[in-house]
Amino acid sequence: MATPALRALRRARPRAEIVLCGRPWVGELLRGIGSFDRFVPDAGSGWRGLASQLRPLRRARFDWAILLPDSPRNALAPWLARVPVRVGYARDGLRRALLSHPLAPPSDPDGRRRAISMIERYLRLVRPLGCPDAGLELDLAVDEEARDALSRRLERAGVADAEPLLAVCPGASFGSSKLWPAERFARACELLAERGLRPVLAPGPGEEGIAGDVAARSGAGCVVLTDPTIRLPELAALIERARLLLCNDTGPRQVAVALDTPAVVLMGPTDPAHTAHWLERQRVLREDVDCSPCHLKTCPIDHRCMTRIRPERVAAAARELLA
C-alpha cells in the first residue's frame, strides 16, 4: 500500500537514489518494481536492528528520510544519522522531537484519530516534499523464477497447469481475532470446488497448523503448500495464477489488488477504512456488530464479528466476482 507514495517520489525526483529500508521480507516482496534503487534490510527490533539501520544511513549521507511506520524507534536511526529532512507522523512528544517535519496524524475535528486508506496515509507523507500523486495503483512484480518455482510445487502436488485455482490464505499474523474459523474455510473451499476451483492453501510461517486443519476438515481435495512454507514471491505467483483469492484481512489481500486478482475477504476486528480502496474486484464480508472495530488481537468474548459470517455468503460473493 506504500507503492503509490514510492511511485510519486520517483516521478518527482527521477535522478535521486531512492533506498528502501525494512524487514527482509519487504525487499523480497517488492523486488522488481521501478520506484526504488536498492533495499537495505533491517535486522529487527532492539539495538541490533537500530545499528543495522544506522550504519548504511551514515555512510550514504541521505538528504531525506520518509518514515512510514509511526514508532519512535523507526525515527531514531535517521535522527542519529543526522539526515536533514525527516518526515513522518508525530503521535507523541518523543516522535515529534525526532522529526524535522512532523505531521499530524489524520484526525477528526474533535481530535480523535481517523482511519483513512493506507494509500492516502502514505501519500500525505510525500506531498509536502513536492511529490504530487502519480496514480493510486498498487505496484508488484512477479518474476519468472517465482512462477517456475510455483509451477514445480503445484506439479508435485498433482495440480495440472490448466486447472482453475482458488488461492486460500487462512492465517493472520495480527492475532487470532482476525481468523475466520477453520471449519468455515473448509466448507467455503467445498462450495467453491463445486464451481470447478481447486483450493490451494498457502499459509505463512507459523500458520501451517491452521492450513492443515482447514484441509483436514474439507472434502474439496485441498492442496497445502508447506514443508517449506511458500515464499512471498511464490505467493504472489500463486495469487497471480489463481482465479480467486479467499483470505482474512491480511497482506495477501493487497497482493491480489496489485495483481488484479478477485478476492473475497473476511474482515472482523479492524476498521475497513484503512483498506477502503480498489474495491471493484473485492468483496469484503463483515458483520455489523456493536463491538467492531475493536483492533484487539484476541477476542475477549465470542468472536461474533467473524463467526457470524457464513460460508454460503462467501460462495455467493465469489459467484459475483467470477461472473
Q: What is the CATH number of the domain that holds 38?
A: 3.40.50.2000
AA letter at 269: P
Residues 63 and 85 sit within 8 Å (Cβ to Cβ): yes
Dihedral sign for Cα atoms in the order 244, 250, 252, 254: positive
| 51 domain-assigned | yes
| 9 domain-assigned | yes
What is residue 112's predicted lDDT score, i.e. its pLDDT?
84
Tell me: do 250 and 185 sit in the same domain. Answer: yes
Tell me: do 251 and 117 sit in the same domain. Answer: no
Distance CA 311, CA 189 (A): 9
Task: Give mean pLDDT, residues 70-77.
Answer: 89
In terms of C-beta distances under 8 Å and separation of at least 24 residues, what long-range contacts does 280-288 make, across chains too? 281/256, 281/257, 281/321, 282/253, 282/256, 282/257, 282/321, 283/317, 283/318, 283/320, 283/321, 284/249, 285/309, 285/313, 285/314, 285/317
What is residue 113's predicted lDDT score, i.e. its pLDDT?
86
Distance CA 131, CA 120 (A): 13
Total of domains in the chain: 2
Tell me: do 181 and 311 sit in the same domain. Answer: yes
Contacts of residue 114, Cβ cutoff 8 Å, sequence gap at least 6? 106, 107, 108, 273
Between helices 311-322 and 182-193, what is the axis angle to 10°?
A: 40
Contacts of residue 196, Cβ cutoff 8 Å, sequence gap at least 6? 164
- Nearest Cα to Cα of residue 227 among 146, 168, 153, 175: 153
What is the residue-averaged pLDDT of the chain? 94
- Nearest Cα to Cα of residue 185 among 256, 265, 281: 265
What is residue 158's predicted lDDT score, i.e. its pLDDT?
95
Which domain does 23 fall in, by range?
A: 3-129
Task: Give mean pLDDT, residues 43-49.
Answer: 73
pTM of the complete model: 0.94
Q: pLDDT (tens digit, 9 = 90+) per residue, 138-180?
A: 999 999 999 999 999 999 999 999 999 999 999 998 999 999 9
Tell me which H or E stretch contains 169: strand 165-169
| 135 domain-assigned | no
Task: Give mean pLDDT, residues 63-85.
Answer: 93
Tell me: do 172 and 25 sit in the same domain. Answer: no
Share of the chain above pLDDT 70, in %: 100
AA letter at 207: E
Rg (CA), the chain: 21
Q: pLDDT (tens digit, 9 = 90+) per residue, 2-42?
A: 999 999 999 999 999 999 998 899 999 999 999 999 998 88
| 138 domain-assigned | no
Classify each residue of 205-218 as buried b or exposed e, where b means 16 or more C-beta atoms within 10 Å of its C-beta: eebbebbbbbbebb
| 234 domain-assigned | yes
